[in-house]
Structure 1
């Protein structure tokens, strides 16, 4: 029996349909259905009455719902106890987006050190989809990411709480020539070379909706390269391969040195919120203390 099967079943109970539950669990509906079947096979009972619509639990399913929640909570409690036994020094695991791990986290570390009471701070970075999957699976005390409620609704749950810990901005930038002028800007009759984020990525979806879709139809955009890593796009922009929308925090030194310039309208910037998330589940004392300190800190600002 796998822990994710229990979480799948609880999601099905809370969402009331296979399609919504599958979406909340970041899997396709066929894969989600197979996992529910696997749980039923392991238990030896049917949890869902598949002859009824909308989704209806069997009596066994109704009885098992609370047990599933308790098993999930107990599993995490045991895991935290074992971690505390293994290490005399408490640890905080923060799952962070690549760009924030590079740009936002290093200066923020000064704040963290003053609040963690000597606990070891561990950071694991990755793309947002994988980060959220890991976080919601309990593989991390906190999730640090850019926030957009309508694009990433999976985090809008009763068992998830968050704090805004910073702000940022996606800005359209280009490298410069020897005279300090942008190498890639809007020139009538010429295509604008774009170095973009993949369409399915967080930044890709956000930019398509808020920026690219609002550009004049006569503007010729030539997508020259895609890369999910903002650091990689930054390197390409600095080497003159095209323009890109990048987090201001990631390129602040290059803007100050004049290596990059922000492009003018109709290319516009996009405000970003940086949030720290945590799950309502048993956590180590250092994680709880750290969260309480952050609440006091950011509520005072």
Structure 2
């Protein structure tokens, strides 16, 4: 049974005439009559008294009419609601960001700027490398990309000429280790040639790894590390470091609580910290209708906190 059959029956009950009802439904009379006949066969009873002029409904038809009106009204209301939801989704701005930013920065940032109603985190992007974020913007897969960005020069070849960005705040990668029995780091920088320190590292093709490498090269004192594991996500690195497998550089916001409660400790002093900016990227030629107003609202809003 099709919804249009129910709509046909409602119109026939109103018009009490097959030809006028067929015209109202924009179909031929034979087609309309066939639909009504199929409807009666489906219900297993006669719904129209064809012996009267004008046509009338049988008692079963009267009962069925009430049901048709209820069903079609619910379908109409549901259709309107779904269209409204689809329109809202089309207007929503998709924000791609690594998991550490989604967990420690994005919720408060959305709340401060009252953006939760129009900006949605794009969860497929949590394991992307930096190039994936830029390509996601180019493909229109996401509308915004919130990324860490080193303050110094890095070796990655990234083309951002088609993008614009806002610097929303600052962050730093801090070296951390699980503590030993005395509360000191189990693994500490800089290590030695004979005893390099085990490193839980970022993915070698990622921006974080490039930023760390560039920072270490700028230090006058060499560092000796041996990589045990590589990961895109800072949360995975933190987990392995917490379990005592090695040291790792992690965004400070992601380890602040663990350091306060002594679960993690610094593996080196501040000279080993890697300064980062937190940037929000968008395409210069984005056609999303909500982006210009959002961009204007956020300009100059360096308010992510420390």
Same fold (TM over 0.5): yes
Q: CA offset at residue 266 of structure 1? A: 8.9
What TM-score results when the alignment is normalised by the length of structure 1? Answer: 0.62
Q: Structure 2 regions of 5+ residues with no counterpart? A: 1-82
Match 2:214 to one of 209, 216, 220? 209
Structure 1: distance between partners of 2:111 and 2:270: 38
Q: Is the 8 A contact 1:215 1:266 kept in 2?
A: no
Q: CA offset at residue 244 of structure 1? A: 0.6
Q: Structure 1 regions of 5+ residues with no counterpart? A: 1-82
Structure 2: distance between partners of 1:163 and 1:110: 18
2:203 is matched with 198
Output one character per residue of 1:141-165: Cα deviation in whole Å (capped at 9) or x when no partner: 11110124844563541x4211111
Output one character per residue of 1:101-122: Cα deviation in whole Å (capped at 9) or x when no partner: 232222222124x146x32523
Structure 2: distance between partners of 1:179 and 1:287: 52
Structure 2: distance between partners of 1:223 and 1:182: 18
How many residues of Structure 1 are paired with residues of Structure 2 in the alignment? 214
1:176 is matched with 179
2:253 is matched with 249
Structure 1: distance between partners of 2:94 and 2:267: 38
Match 1:131 to one of 126, 130, 133? 133
The structure with the larger Rg is 2
Q: Does 1:258 align with 2:259?
A: no
Q: Secondary structure of 1:259's partner?
A: coil
Q: Is the 8 A contact 2:98 2:233 kept in 1?
A: no
2:149 is matched with 147
Task: Single out whichever of 96-105 and 180-189 deviates more from structure 2.
Answer: 180-189
What TM-score results when the alignment is normalised by the length of structure 2? Answer: 0.61
**Residues 298 and 182 (structure 1), Cα distance of their counterparts in 2 relative to 1, 3 Å cut:** closer
**Residues 247 and 297 (structure 1), Cα distance of their counterparts in 2 relative to 1, 3 Å cut:** closer
C-alpha root-mean-square deviation of aligned residues, in Å?
2.9
Match 1:284 to one of 273, 279, 288? 288
Structure 2: distance between partners of 1:172 and 1:185: 9
**Residues 226 and 103 (structure 1), Cα distance of their counterparts in 2 relative to 1, 3 Å cut:** same
Output one character per residue of 1:12-50: Cα deviation in whole Å (capped at 9) or x when no partner: xxxxxxxxxxxxxxxxxxxxxxxxxxxxxxxxxxxxxxx
**Residues 286 and 190 (structure 1), Cα distance of their counterparts in 2 relative to 1, 3 Å cut:** same
Q: Does 1:225 align with 2:229?
A: yes
